Every structure is written in C-alpha cells, then in structure tokens.
Structure 1
Amino acid sequence: MLFRPADLEGLQAGTITLAFRRWETPRVKVGSKLRTPIGVLEVTAVDKVKRPTNKDARAAGYASGQAVLDAFPRRTGDFYRIALHVAGPDPRLALRELPPDEAVFAKLERMGEWTYEYLQAIADHPGLRAPDLAQSFGRETLPFKRDVRKLKELGLTISLKIGYELSPRGQLTLSSRPNALRNTSP
C-alpha cells in the first residue's frame, strides 16, 4: 500500500488510524506489516464497507465520506476500510549500522557475484540514477531495482531521492570481502 506524505504524518502523530482503498479483493490482511518511510505499519482490521462514514473518513484524514469517494473515482471494486497503527521502526534502519556477519556473506555468495558488482557500482557512483546503473549492467531498470531491494533487505544499501548509496554495513561488507571487487565502474 502506498500512502501520501500527509497520511504518513498523520499515522505517525496518531491522528490517522484508518485508510481506504478500492479493490476487487483485499490486498492486505490482518497482521500484515507494511514498511513505510515512518516505520512499520501493522494492519489491525480489513473490512469491506458500502460507503465510508464521515467519522471513519476523518480517521483516515478526509473531511467527509464523500471526500473519500471522490478520492477513489474508479467505479469497479469494493471499498475497504483498513485499520493501521505504527508498529515500530523499519528493522532495516538498525541493520544498516550493524557490522556484517557470516550469514550476510553466505547469503551474498548464494545470491551470486552480481551482489558485489552492484555494491561496488553503488559505492563508486552514489546517487546515480537507477536507469543509468541498470544500463551499465545491461539490465532493464525494474529487474535491476528489484535486485537492489534484495541488498537493501540486508541493510546494505540506502535509497536516495535519486539513486542509492551504501550504508555503513554495505561499506564494511564490500571492504571486508576477500578479494572484493575494486575500481569497477559501470
């Protein structure tokens, strides 16, 4: 689920506790955890509703139930009311600061040599646009970004407004690897 910046601010402040979506089938379930820029959100309820009430609309950051309807003009699909709360910080943030352990190195080895090649390219070109990095490897942008997200899951990279940079853990991982790639430019 994507959230507008104002909604994230409200969720963080506790003034927003609901979200609405129009879906053919629910795309989240109770207990789902969603990583966002403000941390991890947990879904505590998912209910199909005919029409958002004014009270629920205000809890979702809208002025009225009609304002919710207007925000989702698509006619197909049902309205779902999703209750959420901030469950804690994004665990990847803490990982960024931890030194890599043997499990990280083993995972990277299993994933393949591309992992170190990508880390080196990101180290050499922080902030370079993802399409440009992808092109340097002869890859399409979306599959490339999917692979970089795998590195982010390990706390090795940080997404910038444009491009990526290595986290402290990513820097240590790259410099600690025996025979780490050096001076590889995309």
Structure 2
Amino acid sequence: MKAMRLLIIIAVGTLLTACTGLPEGIRPVKTVDVNQYAGTWYEIARLDHSFERGLSDVSAEYQIQDDGSLKVINRGYSTEEGTWKEAEGHAVFVDENRTGHLKVSFFGPFYASYVIFRLDSEDYQYAFITGFDRDYLWFLSRTPTVTDKALDDFRAVAEAEGFNLDELIIVDQSRNRP
C-alpha cells in the first residue's frame, strides 16, 4: 500500500511539474525587470491552441502582487460568440535571479512554462514567448500593431530557434486600436 501511495505521489508531482521546463536549446533572457514588464501587452502573432482558438484582439495584463508574483489577465474577443473572454492566472519566477523563466497557472495547482526568450530589454516594447516546448509561441508588443520589419524579425528569430511557423496566426487587433 505504501509503495502504491508513493507511486501516486511521484506521478502527481511529475504531472504538476512536467510542463514547467525549458525547450531544448532555448535560453530565457537573463534578467526581467518586473516593474518594466508589468502592464498591458498585445498578442501580435501566435501558434494556435485550443485555449485561444477563434480569439482575436488578445491582450495580457500583468499586475505585480505584494509577494512579487504576477496576476495575469488574458483577454480576447470570440468572433463566433460575439463576446469577450477573460481568464485570470498567476505567474511566478522559477528562480530568484528573475530570469525570463516563469511558471503560470490558470487552473489551480497546474503550472506551465512561460519562457521569455527575446525581450527589448531597453524599452520593454516587445517580447517573444514560448512554453515548455516549441508548440507554443507568442509575439507580444506594447502596441496592438507593429511594423512589417518587427514581424519579419520575429519570424526570423523564431525560425532560427527551431519553431515551425506553418500554422502561425497574425492576430487581428482591430478592436484594440485607438
């Protein structure tokens, strides 16, 4: 009975931490100034996933909490339903050095990697994000639109890092434009 309990504990622990690693060969940025990172970011491009399927005008707001963690509010417009969808989560840095490796949860104790692998470290105007593997990819910007050059730079970096961009979605941000 003790052996079975130990196996269950190990299995649950593995499931709870399996998605918080780094993709092979991807390095998070060395330092993130949480005060500069906080605020609203607009999703410019992404690889599609069920939790964002059909959403346009996607944004993420990061709010610093008293304990140093971040409250995350993701918002997007469902064109099919004609309504705004919102999800609230919680993110924490994986290490005390505040590298660009965080873990984020929208569902209780289940965390997933949030890896900032490129960041405009001077002005914090753009960020390239992945998850625990290369199936996850986002281009975030402080503005709802970016130049063609910025999008081309994102594509070039993502391809050089081994991402398959065949399914890349350029996010419609028309409801977020002034």
TM-score, normalised by the number of residues in structure 1: 0.22
Larger helix share, 1 or 2: 1
Higher strand share: 2
Greater Rg, structure 1 or structure 2? Answer: 1
